[in-house]
Amino acid sequence: MKCVLFYHAFTSCWNNGNAHFLRGYARELHALGHEVVVFEPIDGWSRLNAIREGGSHAMDDIPALFSGIDIRRYDTGLDLDRALDGADLVIVHEWNSPDLIAQVGRRRAQGASFTLLFHDTHHRAVSAPDELAQFDLDGFDGVLAFGEVLRQIYLKLGWADRVFTWHEAADVALYHPLPQVERTDDLVWVGNWGDGERSAELNEFLVEPVAELKLRASVHGVRYSDDALRTIRSAGIRYGGWLPAHWAPVAFAGARATIHVPRGPYVLLPGIPTIRVFEALACGIPLVSAPWSDTEGLFPEGAYLSVADGAQMKHALRTVIDDPEFSAAMVATGLKVIQDRHTCRHRAEQLIDIVTDLRDSSRSARPQHDIGAVA
């Protein structure tokens, strides 16, 4: 197939946690023999911020890392008919502008022959349903939802059997153990501080345990306010700034443990882990998670430790750092479940099955639903 993918950003991962998976499944589609073309706006805010913070060469290595992917940047003058010419599969990620989403949908509704899918990887369906209502999805053949709980919301909107649970996964071509890297840190955390969505949780599960246990720790990410920087530095934590996603495996390899601290909205979406869980397990680093419900059974017991509060976090970190046999067992369990179930190759193959199923059916491309009626 000719696969045309519309992303807000492919070359940039600045404040773009989706970049890992979006790049990874595109790589695997190409490896499976499909032609893959990715469109990204030249003035996307993720890309502009990456250039501002990392310089004009901050993303130069991405094309080489994803050779075979045709990356095309566009401005306001995008010729959409030309972009879609010859396409068999078109996927529009939810970070795109509502106008672009609507324009692509109209072409499908007017008779274009490609299969058109909307890829939703956001919590807005429960945290800001009015934002979901701005998307005109009438012309789309189906929705790829990054968790079952999100799929259920689309079912209520009338998508019937045309919405599919499609979790993120690990791009194991890049995310894998690096045993040659010396572990110089006790703890590393990769994540953005953001707009206060999880400041209390970060203090409880990251800052305070590090300070009380006197761990050697580093954090990487963006959108750290001056107050946030003062907080982490007062705990003796080194701030490493923006870490391009494909450099994360080296950061994980250099530490004895990492943690998972989901944002508040994801508590409302049980069963959906952040990409960091897939990354950490794929890279072979012991993971301790703040409260998160694996309602879909993505990971077996023993793949990571789950804690309820800061006191349990301190105990768990002490255990994984001081008990190498226990940590090695965790790592082995985590690596196995990634290799068996959660690679980008698995998701690319699932995507092909979804497209085949839609094409083999006689389902209409125009569902009867009210996108603004989210509960």
Per DSSP (E only), the strands in the chain are 2-6, 35-41, 70-74, 89-93, 115-120, 142-145, 163-165, 185-190, 217-220, 238-239, 255-260, 287-289, 305-306
Burial of 23 per CB tally in 10 Å (0-12, 13-18, 19+): buried
pLDDT at residue 127, rounded to an integer: 66
Supply the pLDDT for residue 362: 57
Residue 137: φ, ψ to 5°: -105, 15
Q: Tokens for 336, please give them.
A: 């196995």
Length of the chain: 375
Task: In whole angstroms, give the CA distance from residue 246 to residue 19.
Answer: 10
268/261 Cα distance (integer angstroms): 14
- Is the CB of residue 188 less than 8 Å from the CB of residue 254? yes
8 Å CB contact between 338 and 18: no
pLDDT for position 130: 75
pLDDT for res 159: 85
Which pLDDT tens digits describe the chain residue by residue (375 residues)?
999 999 999 999 999 999 999 999 999 999 999 999 999 999 999 999 999 988 778 788 999 999 999 999 999 889 999 999 999 999 999 999 999 999 999 999 999 999 999 999 987 766 677 777 788 999 999 999 999 999 998 898 888 789 999 999 999 999 999 999 999 999 999 998 877 668 899 999 999 999 999 999 999 999 999 999 999 999 999 999 999 999 999 999 999 999 999 887 777 788 999 999 999 999 999 999 999 999 999 999 999 999 999 999 999 999 999 999 999 999 999 999 999 999 999 999 999 999 999 999 855 444 434 433 333
pLDDT, position 303:
98
Q: Residue 365: its pLDDT value, please?
A: 46
pTM (predicted TM-score): 0.93
234 and 206 Cβ atoms separated by less than 8 Å: no
Question: The dihedral of CA 272, 294, 143, 370: what is its sign?
Answer: negative
